[in-house]
Amino acid sequence: MTAFRRLLTYARPYRGRFVLAVGAMVLYAAADAGLVYLVKYIIDKVLAAQTGLVWVSTTILVLYACKGAGGFVSTFLMTDVGQRVVRDLRNQLFRHILGQSAGFFKRRTSGQLMSHITNDVAQIQHGVSETIGDLLRESLALVFYTGLMFYLDPRLAIVCLTGAPLVLYPLVRLGQRIRSTTRRGQEALEHISHLSAESFTGHRIVKAFGTEAKEADRFRAASERLYRINLTVTSALASLPPFMELLGGVGIVGALWYASRKIGANELTVGDFMAFITAAFMMYGPARKLSRVNANLQQAIGASERIFEMLDTHTEVHERPGARALPPLRSSIEFRHVTFAYDDGSGHKILRDVSFEVPAGQVIAIVGLSGAGKTTLVNLVPRFYDVTAGAILIDGVDIRDVTLRSLRAQVGIVTQETVLFDDTIWNNIAYGAPHATDAEVEAAARAAHAHEFVTALSDGYRTRIAERGQRLSGGQRQRLAIARALLKNAPILILDEATSSLDSESELLVQDALARLMMNRTSFVIAHRLSTVRRADVILALEHGRVAEMGRHEELLARPDGVYRKLYALQAFDNPQAAAADTATAGHTESGAR
Ligand SMILES: Nc1ncnc2c1ncn2[C@@H]1O[C@H](COP(=O)(O)OP(=O)(O)OP(=O)(O)O)[C@@H](O)[C@H]1O
Ligand SMILES: [Mg+2]
């Protein structure tokens, strides 16, 4: 019940509308009961005595008008409140999920997370906006009908209604079952969402490996599971109305026996009895709706439990209370005995006791074999993850003591996987700088050597990039990502394989642009092609998460058994001419390049 109460707190801002809706419901239910009461007059006066036809007719019309107005206003307002609640919840959920740590996103797939925002919220929407309205309106109707029955003849009412409480037991039991089934159903739906997102995203791999049938089988199994779960709910739900109807029938038969004797003894008029029996029959509608209301409510509660669990998951990197804004970088960035392990339960240390200091304005290149921990290391700078031990200091201030916003505002980043948004090229470049002028955007694009291919597109900078940037080549996408980082113009720059998708010629051009960009900026550069790191002020070679060596290109190359030398030799083997050229020019380019 706590999930339900928590759900209700979301309606608190809209209580004015809610109260109005309840008022309209009272009108609706009262008018309805009034109509039933009129049956007595119709039979006893209008039909039997031929009087009051006009009066009764007018009243009928007025009551229907009231019922209609009350029904419309209450349905509209209740649905409105429900939709607002759902909208607020959805917005909060999105914001909350987006605020989670990088580790959180690694553990879950986008398909799963999307399922929370679409399926779970939709389930609540169904439960809240329709059901709570029904619950109140139909309960009120029941109260009025019962009141009317007691008003007409209390003893008859007791005879007729003794069976009613019997219906409560299956109703409650069923509700519990539906809630747990809903949870399983939502989990099955989540799995379906995950499977489809995965297969659609990886459609090319699926096709290339000819595994369509295998994927379809996986999907079919998940669908089947959902179907079975839904079937349990359906069969349970469908068994209720017949049971209730039977119970109602028994009540009416009892009333009929009792009333026929009373009418015979002239203690009850036919009109009284007809009004009474009409009320009894009319009760069936609300009662049936109410039996479903509980089921719907339980579904909404089941789904909201899942949502609240998500809302109670806090994996954000924490901002300390009283964190200050980080002033612009002036002197240096320091890694001090940094050890890091991902929060995946293995406890495996990806970085071990990494210490180094980069003076502001310098370029540090990080090299190492795949899996050495290079990406992990640079991810610590904008605090995508927090260090496990040790500290990272900017101008001597621990980055955990400053606000995330001010820290991240100082970091420009080009990640290993290029991420572009489904928007125009212009908006993608200006992603972090919405107030940029056209000239600034173009300058950034030129510097990243993107301007040429962008202007060749039909709509130029206004061209929309289809989802995930599929319409552009890998190198073009990477150049847009570089332009985006250039435009942000942040003092700290992280380039994680920023030029890996470019051919050698474009890379040279972009490299040139990057070299200009890195001027007066503190840059972390990761590149597999060592020709690109040669120009760095300092090269840090990682091996199994440790700093194996640090120094300039020639220094490291001069070490007989060095890690860097080994990496370099491997590349020379791959591309002997380039390596030879590198070695030949190493001496004079390294200082002139920056
Ligand atoms: N989210 C994660 N959870 C657990 N382990 C991870 C996670 N991300 C990376 N790792 C592990 O950390 C190690 C270092 O990964 P990292 O991505 O930093 O390597 P890298 O040096 O950037 O490699 P590459 O050159 O291939 O990009 C790898 O062994 C990897 O398996
Ligand atoms: Mg990497």
3-state secondary structure of 100: coil
Q: Which atom of ligand 1 is least distant from the CA of 528?
A: 25
**331 shares its domain with 206:** no
Task: Report how far ligand 2's centroid is from the alpha carbon of 100 (Å).
Answer: 21
Residue pair 80/295 in contact by the 8 Å Cβ criterion: no
In a domain, 515, yes or no: no
Looking at this protein, which amino acid is placed at residue 256?
L
In a domain, 496, yes or no: no
Tell me, using a 6 A CB cutoff, whether residue 534 lines ligand 1: no
Collect the ranges in the chain with pLDDT lower than 70. Answer: 1, 467-470, 513, 572-594
**301 shares its domain with 221:** yes
Task: Report how far ligand 1's centroid is from the alpha carbon of 545 (Å).
Answer: 10
**285 shares its domain with 352:** no
**397 shares its domain with 332:** yes
In this structure, how many other beta carbons lie within 10 angstroms of the beta carbon of residue 357?
14
Beta bridge partners, 324, equal 402
In a domain, 213, yes or no: yes
Q: Give me the CATH number covering residue 560.
A: 3.40.50.300
**274 shares its domain with 330:** no
In a domain, 29, yes or no: yes
Q: What is the pLDDT of residue 584?
A: 44
Q: What is the pLDDT of residue 218?
A: 94
Q: Which atom of ligand 1 is least distant from the CA of 103?
A: 1
Tell me, using a 6 A CB cutoff, whether residue 350 lines ligand 1: yes
Residue pair 342/350 in contact by the 8 Å Cβ criterion: yes
Task: Report how far ligand 2's centroid is from the alpha carbon of 549 (Å).
Answer: 19
Tell me, using a 6 A CB cutoff, whether residue 346 lines ligand 1: no
pLDDT in tens, 21-52: 999 999 998 998 899 888 888 888 888 888 88
Q: In whole angstroms, how far apart are CA 82 and each of 12, 23, 303, 507, 538?
A: 11, 17, 15, 55, 60
Give the CA angle between residues 237, 239, 245 to the nearest 5°: 115
**134 shares its domain with 217:** yes
**278 shares its domain with 306:** yes
- Among 280, 311, 342, the domain boundary falls at 311
Looking at this protein, which amino acid is placed at residue 275?
A
Which of these, 380, 387, 324, 330, lies nearest to 358 by C-alpha position?
330
What is the extent of the structural domain holding 271? 2-311
- Among 263, 285, 311, the domain boundary falls at 311
**296 shares its domain with 338:** no
**129 shares its domain with 277:** yes
Q: Domain count for the chain, please give it.
A: 2
In a domain, 13, yes or no: yes
Q: What is the pLDDT of residue 300?
A: 86
In this structure, how many other beta carbons lie within 10 angstroms of the beta carbon of residue 152?
22
| Calpha distance 176→178 (Å, rounded) | 5
> What DSSP line would sit under 162-229, residue for residue?
TTGGGGHHHHHHHHHHHHHHHHHHHHHHHHHHHHHHHHHHTHHHHHHTT-HHHHHHHHHHHHHHHHHH
**229 shares its domain with 378:** no
> What DSSP line would sit under 271-319, residue for residue?
HHHHHHHHHHHHHHHHHHHHHHHHHHHHHHHHHHHHHHHHHT---SPPP
Task: Report how far ligand 2's centroid is from the alpha carbon of 198 (Å).
Answer: 22
Task: Report how far ligand 1's centroid is from the alpha carbon of 570 (Å).
Answer: 21
| Residue carrying the six token digits 């039979």 | 43
Strands (E), 377-445: 389-394, 397-398, 411-414
pLDDT in tens, 537-567: 999 999 989 999 999 888 888 888 888 888 8
Give the end-to-end CA distance of the chain in Å, rounded to a whole number. Answer: 65
Tell me, using a 6 A CB cutoff, whether residue 553 lines ligand 1: no
**291 shares its domain with 368:** no
**365 shares its domain with 289:** no
Task: Report how far ligand 1's centroid is from the alpha carbon of 392 (Å).
Answer: 19
Q: Give me the CATH number covering residue 175.
A: 1.20.1560.10
Q: What is the pLDDT of residue 469?
A: 56
- Among 276, 311, 346, the domain boundary falls at 311
Tell me, using a 6 A CB cutoff, whether residue 117 lines ligand 1: no
Q: What is the pLDDT of residue 572?
A: 59
Phi then psi for residue 551, to 5 deg, are: 160, -170
Residue pair 421/431 in contact by the 8 Å Cβ criterion: yes
In a domain, 441, yes or no: no
Compute the chain's Rg from CA coordinates: 36
Tell me, using a 6 A CB cutoff, whether residue 384 lines ligand 1: no
Nearest-CA residue for atom 29 of ligand 1: 371
Q: Which of 343, 375, 388, 497 to mutate to test the pocket of ligand 1 (most atoms within 8 A of CB)?
A: 375
Q: List, as ranges, residues with CB under 5 A of the ion ligand 2.
A: 375, 416
In a domain, 491, yes or no: no
In a domain, 57, yes or no: yes
